Chains A and B, each alone.
Chain A
Amino acid sequence: MRALALAALLLALLPSAALAAAPRTTLPDVEDELMCIQCGTALNISQAPSADQERQLIREGIAKGLTKDQIKARMVGEYGQNVLATPPKRGFDLAAWIVPGLLALLALAAIALTARRWRRVGDLRDGEAGPDALDADDASRLDRDMAGYDL
């Protein structure tokens, strides 16, 4: 009896497990990662005739139960890599991912170096005797005078 109940429970869980393994996607979820191949703008804001065709292909993919990655692969097969809103992370296109980060790091390093240099110049200026500085005789006389006051 217990085995029968366990089998029934497993059967009830099977469809939901299958759905979890192959999540369905939506048109907005896919189209915001693609470009209009005719006009070169994001697909989700394009009203071009070719954009309508691209959306139709996405809907067909969704109706067939394809995942987002499968639909995107199908779109690349039809229109080439240019249809992707972000370049692939390989080959020359990898530069699009690396260069901005590299530039940000260089800019941070430049700011840090410049700040350090400014601080060093400021410290040197603080340690220097200015034009109004007292010589040793005047300084000792000032100390003597100051000692005469009850401060």
Chain B
Amino acid sequence: MRWVVIAVAALLVGLLAYGVASQGSDTTIESALSQGKRVPAPDSPLPRLGAAGKGTVDDYRGRVVLVNFWASWCPPCTQELPLLQRTQRMMAAKGATVLGINTRDASEKALAFVHRFGLTYPSLRDGSGDFAERWGLTGYPESFLLDKQGRVAAAIHGPLDQRWIDEHVKPLVDRGA
């Protein structure tokens, strides 16, 4: 009888621990950046938005990448799409790229925005939002600047602006480091 009680208690504690662990957001990127360190970007294969097959962040290793998490139902996300497209033109000319991660969104709605703003940079689909959670996302939009080694060099929580692009993206693209 005692062993049954112990087994049930252990099972409940295990389930509780699993629940708490799975709810916690990943603060690795944030804490590393605050210490001036660069950590490898989380990665896994995701479907391409508006194209067949899957892609990863690692596909762009060797190039500076501005990863932008966005959704079509998020007004600040769609408002910054023209700026992202201008940034893409600047980055593409120097071998770098913007990479959209369309998160918790309906693909048709997202594609409508891609066509409306004539976005030429690639986007991957993270319909469930699981990938965004691995990056420790706390809101929309959020953007992460990756160096050529695929490490996170800078991050911005909230909408991008030209000043942040000038301060972080341009120097890294020009240096190519």
Spell out A's residues near B (CB within 8 Å).
37-38, 49-50, 52-54, 57, 77-83, 99, 103, 106, 109-110, 113
Contact status of A37 and B74, CB under 8 A, knowing A57-B106, A113-B1: no
- CB < 8 Å: which of B12, B73, B75 contacts A53? B73
Report B135 CB to chain A, min CB distance, Å: 16
- Listed in ascending order, the chain B residues whose CB lies under 8 Å from chain A are 1, 4-5, 8, 11-12, 15, 71-75, 104-107, 109, 127-130
Most buried by A among B1, B74, B106, B107: B106
B106 x A53 contact (CB < 8 A): yes
Contact between B1 and A53 (Cβ–Cβ < 8 Å)? no
Find chain A residues with CB under 8 A from B75 CB: 49
Take A37-B129, A38-B104, A99-B15 as given contacts and tell me if A50 and B8 are in contact as well, using a CB distance cutoff of 8 Å.
no
Q: How far is the CB of A55 from chain B (nearest CB, A)?
A: 11
12 more contacts with CB within 8 A, not counting A78-B105, A110-B4, are A37-B127, A37-B129, A38-B104, A38-B129, A49-B73, A53-B73, A53-B105, A53-B106, A77-B127, A81-B128, A82-B128, A82-B130
Chain A residues, CB < 8 A from B8 = 103, 106
From B12, B73, B105, A52 is in contact (CB under 8 Å) with: B73
In the bound complex, residues from chain B placing their C-beta under 8 Å from that of A49 are 73-75
Indicate if the CB atoms of A110 and B127 lie closer than 8 Å: no
In order of increasing CB-CB distance, the 8 nearest A-B pairs are: A80-B128, A49-B73, A53-B73, A37-B104, A79-B127, A50-B73, A78-B106, A82-B128
* A106 with B106: CB separation less than 8 A: no
Interface of A is mostly: helix
Residue of A nearest to B107 (CB): A78
Q: Which residue of B lies closest to A109 (CB)?
A: B4
Name the residue of chain A whose CB is nearest to the CB of B106. A78
B105 contacts which chain A residues (CB < 8 A)?
50, 53, 78
Considering the chains assembled together, what is the distance between the CA atoms of A82 and B75 in angstroms?
Answer: 23
* Between-chain CB contacts (< 8 Å), 28 pairs: A37-B127, A38-B73, A50-B73, A50-B105, A53-B105, A53-B106, A53-B109, A54-B106, A57-B106, A78-B105, A78-B106, A78-B127, A79-B104, A80-B127, A80-B128, A81-B128, A82-B128, A82-B129, A83-B128, A103-B8, A103-B11, A103-B12, A106-B4, A106-B8, A109-B4, A110-B1, A110-B5, A113-B1
